[in-house]
Structure 1
Amino acid sequence: MKDIENNDDLYRLVDEFYKKLLSDSSISYIFTDVVKLNLEEHLPILVTFWSQSLFNTGGYFNNLTQIHLDISKKEYLTPELFKIWLYHFNTTVNELFTGSNAEKIKTQALNIATVLEIKTRQEKK
């Protein structure tokens, strides 16, 4: 296995990751019923986000926190949902890649999930 090296690798990662999310009924409803996600439109945005995060390429201008707070107002994003998300993310990375960037992206995903979970919990109070 190789490390995550470019946007093609990131596209493969997020595509496989979302296949896992969408096939898991404990979380898929967030994407299908609450957000009504158009995956074809969303994948390039995710690649841009992770490319900026991993390779410092820039280009992602959305407010990640506010997007998730808005979703959580429609359907509370529980700590369990963040655990499921992180589990599928880490599993996908581990199945496809190995190396420093693979480890870095898993750490970044943990940081993001932790911050978003805290923020959504605070917002719910």
Structure 2
Amino acid sequence: MATLKDISTLEDIKQMVNNFYDNVRKDDLLGPIFNEKLQDRWPEHLQKMYGFWQTILFDVRAYSGTPFPPHKQLPVDKTHFDRWIEIFNTTIDKQFEGPLTEEAKMRATNMAFMFNHKIEYFRNAENELRNSIKKP
């Protein structure tokens, strides 16, 4: 078996991101959500993700913004985030290995956990607010 190289260039990030989102788009659970949300804006999303991962892994300021708000209203829960991580790790492990590869998987896992936690928090807060308004 050939030895895989670590993520080390922008081209590696593009390969990682493109292959990951190709797999997401085909996934029965995640594909419909992403395809509905992004529709014909996939090229812009992929460009944003290249910058995001450049910033995360290479400490290059290629991304500015707040990644959580676009995800806040998506119809997702822990099952979706678990599947996202499964696809991410499987995809990346087929392409790369090394310290930055492990960093990418750790960062993705942490983001999925945080996004899921925040989405649940906001949904619970909104439900509590709705319930308190309904009470006489």
C-alpha displacement of 1:42: 1.4
Higher relative contact order (CA 8 A, sep 6+): 1
Which of residues 45, 61, 64 is equivalent to 1:58? 61
What is the number of residues matched between the two proteins?
121
Distance in 1 between residues matched to 2:76 and 2:63, nearest whole Å: 23
RMSD between aligned alpha carbons?
1.1
- Alignment correspondent of 1:121: 120
- 1:1-125 correspondence to structure 2 within 5 Å: 1-36=4-39, 38-69=41-72, 72=73, 75-125=74-124
* Preserved CA contact (<8 Å) 1:31 1:37: no
* Distance of aligned partners of 1:41 and 1:35 in 2 relative to their CA distance in 1, 3 Å threshold: closer
Structure of greater Rg: 2
Letter in 2 for 1:9: D
Distance in 2 between residues matched to 1:100 and 1:37, nearest whole Å: 34
Q: Which segments of structure 1 move beyond 4 Å, counting only runs of 4 or more?
A: none
TM-score (norm 1): 0.91
Give the share of equivalent positions with the same residue, in percent: 27
Q: Which runs of 5+ in 1 are unaligned?
A: none
Q: Which runs of 5+ in 2 are unaligned?
A: 125-136
